[in-house]
Homo-oligomer: A and B are copies of this chain.
Amino acid sequence: MPSINENFLSMEKNYLFINIAKKVKAFTEAHPDADIIRMGIGDVTQPIAKCVVEAMKKGADEMGVKETFRGYEDSGAGYDFLREAVSGYYKSFGVDIPADDIRINDGAKADCGNIVDIFGNDNIVLVTDPAYPVYVDTNLMNGRKIIYANSNEKNGFAAMPDENVHADLIYLCSPNNPTGSVYTKEQLEEWIRYAKKNKAIIIYDSAYEAFITEENIPRSIFAVEGAKECAIEMCSLSKTAGFTGMRCGYTVVPHELYVTASTGEQVSIAQLWGRRQGSKFNGVSYPVQCAAAAVFTPEGQEEIKVNIRYYQENAKIISSALDEMGIKYTGGKNSPYIWFKCPNNMGSWEFFDLLLEKANVVGTPGSGFGKNGEGWFRLTAFGDRERTKEAMERIKKLTF
């Protein structure tokens, strides 16, 4: 009989958001008339930009004509037209990434999870806590040792390195999911110094970079000197351009990045990752890549900025309501997430249940993101304007 990967047995039975979906489903079945407002899973609600839809339809039409039909991509790393467009996007905020260092994927989550395939299971993995569950889950699946850097009220939920502990792989996410905190340039410089001292690699999740408005907050770790020798970056169009249902993102593995194997051989991380992807991934749908490329045109940028401003305005509505209620929070600025302390010292799931039952609002319990999340709660600004207002009105009326 095949043995299973028993690391799975020590994990939570379900991925966090599947648990939440189940709870909400059970509640709606019991209360079919309840008017639920969903601010839990960080899913967007504004439609895809018109020029992006048109680009996808053009791509679909090309697939229906023999002369323009496209089958497998040669490399599976993405079409040059899209890799060039992503490279140009980086350039627009002052970061120089050659197109060859970019691989197109079906979303940052897959790459954040799959990248660990190329590393040994004996590595010590550093994750800031609370964190996006994928960083932890995908390393638990391989039985790796995970250590945590505490993000908490004291440091504004932006954990910094501890010089006394060693790590080989470091996950950072800024703007942070779930806490909405951001790293300044100086803070990232400190992380890079720490990584270099430990010869570690930083896996940097920049999925929320489009929400950054302040000057001194880098939109990419590669905006910080020295990152190309110690970092990989994953980004996605999910939040930038509403691609949660379209599925397209990109990963930057600098060609400068090498590690030494036990044989003494210098091994290119980009080469290893390409080898993994060559056997386990076949590239992103061509019409989806056409759609993604349209995001990076001047017209596309214009259109998506309207949506981002819409969500930023929602974030202000949420923060203002919390201000009124005297509830402490991080995020909401430079970030679509608002992370707040559950009122009356309630536990995260306790508050989740109360919010669902009394206000019919779905949020995400902070404890689902790690131990430092206990007693905290995440709301997203990705909802509809009127529904966001309505949700905050309902919450303000609650008594705790």
A interface residues (Cβ-Cβ under 8 A, vs B)? 1-6, 8-9, 11, 13-15, 18, 21, 41, 43-50, 52-53, 56-57, 60-61, 63-66, 69-75, 106-107, 109-110, 113-114, 117-123, 133-134, 137-138, 141, 168-169, 198-201, 242, 244-248, 259-263, 265, 267, 271-272, 275-276, 278-288, 291
Contact = CB atoms under 8 A, between A and B. Distances in A.
B2 A134 contact: no
A171 to B, nearest CB: 12
Contacts of A134: 279-280
A264 to B, nearest CB: 11
B64 A123 contact: no
B45 A275 contact: no
A102 B283 CA distance: 22
A279 B47 contact: no
A50 to B, nearest CB: 6
Given A1-B199, A110-B281, A43 B71 contact: yes
A245 B4 contact: no
Nearest to A199: B1
A119 B5 contact: yes
The copy count of this chain in the complex is: 2
Contacts of A2: 119-120, 123, 168-169, 199-201, 259
25 contacts: A1-B199, A1-B260, A2-B168, A2-B200, A3-B123, A4-B259, A4-B261, A5-B118, A5-B121, A6-B262, A8-B118, A9-B261, A21-B74, A44-B71, A45-B66, A52-B64, A56-B57, A57-B61, A69-B242, A107-B282, A117-B141, A134-B279, A138-B279, A246-B285, A287-B287
A117 B201 CA distance: 23
A65 B45 CA distance: 10
Contacts of A6: 120, 261-263
Sorted from nearest, which 3 A-B pairs have the closest CB atoms?
A: A3-B120, A15-B278, A113-B280
Nearest to A289: B245
A1 to B, nearest CB: 4
Nearest to A170: B2
B64 A245 contact: no
Contacts of A113: 279-281
B43 A72 contact: yes
Given A2-B123, A5-B119, A247-B282, A48 B63 contact: yes
A71 B5 CA distance: 31
B15 A262 contact: no
A70 to B, nearest CB: 4
Contacts of A52: 64
